Chain A
Amino acid sequence: MKRPELISRILIITGILLAVGAPLFLWARTPLIHARMAEDGGWNPDVIQAETGKPLHLKLTSDDVVHGFAVGQMDMQSVDILPGKVTEITLTFDKPGIYTFFCTRWCGLNHWRMRGTIEVTGGSDIITAGGSSEPASVPLYVSLDLDIDAPHDSPVIPNEKPSAMNGQLLGANLPIDQSLDYYLSHSPYQVFTDLSDTSLTESQKWDAVAYLWQSNTTPESLANGKELYAQNCAACHGENGAGDGVFADDLAEAGEASMQTMEGATDMVMQTPVDFTDPSRILGASPALLQGKILRGGMGTGMPMWGVIFTEEQIWDLIAYIYSFQFEYQK
């Protein structure tokens, strides 16, 4: 074989091998965490191992649409994961446990199913469920023994939106228990009935209830709740709380479809997202009850389980905001 022929053959073979080998080699060396819509597989991998005290470097990419990444109950800024781009993040865990990471940007009806876990070992090597917090204290709805699936509609509703400002004007000497426990464990309707011995008119009683609710929250809390609501709840419950979010129809449809496959379960009715502007629904619910619903989720209704995502404080902020659909608060 002549020299030029040999050289060209070598060049071509080398070129082909390089064009195949180099990308494969580099690709195999760079493990990425892929984010996909839940119906296409969600996170891959969805279980990540880490050790306490050791920084965990993650490279995240999206294979379809905009997603986000955050770890539940952790004080961190969520990061966006953009399609075809790589987002790098470094996390350090102080305590062992099983942490939940989740998608923070709505990516379809099943967005909330996009979750994974980080198993953090080290230190005492004891893995406890429920994240980084201390062995989880029993939630209020459990200790109060509330049945959070029982109907809780308020039989009486105000004629107009109760005003906290008017309630404040009624004076502080109303016979209302000012303790936090009382507020947390009573629905607005229950407080309303507790005021039945007073000489107040019906609308004054509701105003007093509104004032009690306002005095158990802060503007910061409400603002924080509002933000959490917009990011996590509004897609189903509606931007104005009316249960008419962009996924409400899809949820109803998905529910009907799944009903057909669930033989014999005729008594279980698929729910559409709750309308927070509906007084009988919300005025009949105590903060503890709402906390239970948010913590546990809707068990098949499409309402996610938020217990592993939100901190307790975030849930109370959210609850305070949900009540603001019913009450006129001081601006």
Chain B
Amino acid sequence: MRLHFSLLLLVMAGLVVAFAPLPVPAVAPQERTFEVDARQYAYSPSELKVNAGDTVTIKLVSTDVVHGLYVDGYDISVEADPGQSARLTFVADKPGSFRFRCNVTCGAMHPFMIGKITVGTNDWLYRSIGLASLAVIGFFPLSSFLNQSKKKDERNIAS
């Protein structure tokens, strides 16, 4: 019974850490423009930070060959030739951290040409570390319980 109860408690705590809504700091949405240079096989700047609700414009400037920029999670993309920079405008309405990657094959390391855009704070990272901490904290009482019951089993078998 005690095991079930503490397990239940742990799962509940886990659900809270994973899904409890956090107070979102009210920041007035802004218009933000980034000029992102693309070369084989990196973006510069490669890490962008915006607030949730911002209208983000990425001006993609290819400096060697044709590159693209696809934003994970938003499923939008843009393609730019050298000399013909292109713009991608979107409302950053999904909070979190997303990778953006080249979606126009641009040479060997193309699949790993990656940048990162963080909308608001990267909550899921903190929640995940919270879950990991919770797992470790909950682990000790549970495992000592398991060890005890195992010893009991062994005694039963031995007798």
Contacts and interface: CB of A to CB of B under 8 A. Distances in A.
Whether the complex brings A and B within 8 Å at their CB atoms is answered yes
Interface of A: 37, 64-66, 82-84, 105-109, 111, 230-231, 233-236, 239, 245-247
Given A64-B107, A82-B105, A107 B83 contact: no
B18 interface: no
Contacts of B85: 239
A259 B52 CA distance: 52
A205 to B, nearest CB: 34
A239 B64 contact: no
Given A107-B65, A108-B65, A246-B63, A234 B83 contact: yes
- The interface size bin for chain B is 10 to 19
Contacts of B63: 246-247
Given A37-B65, A107-B65, A108-B64, A230 B106 contact: no
B66 interface: yes
B84 to A, nearest CB: 5
A239 B65 contact: no
A172 to B, nearest CB: 39
Contacts of A236: 83
Contacts of A106: 62, 65-66, 81-83
Given A108-B65, A246-B62, A246-B63, A234 B105 contact: no
A235 B105 contact: no
Interface string B67-87: 000000000000001111100
A321 to B, nearest CB: 14
A246 B65 contact: no
Interface string B97-131: 00000001111000000000000000000000000
Given A65-B66, A106-B66, A246-B63, A83 B82 contact: no
B82 A65 contact: no
Contact of A83 (B61, B83, B84, B105): B105
A102 to B, nearest CB: 15
Nearest to B66: A66
3 closest A-B pairs (Cβ-Cβ)? A235-B83, A234-B83, A106-B82
B81 A105 contact: yes
A239 B66 contact: no
B105 A65 contact: yes
A231 B107 CA distance: 21
Nearest to A82: B105
B105 A66 contact: yes
B104 A239 contact: no
B117 to A, nearest CB: 22
Nearest to B62: A246
A254 to B, nearest CB: 13
A234 B80 CA distance: 13
Given A65-B106, A83-B105, A84-B105, A107 B84 contact: no
Interface in B41-66: 61-66
Contacts of A108: 64-65
B84 A234 contact: yes
Contacts of B62: 106, 246
Nearest to B64: A108
Contacts of A66: 65-66, 104-106
Nearest to A233: B83
A246 B86 CA distance: 14
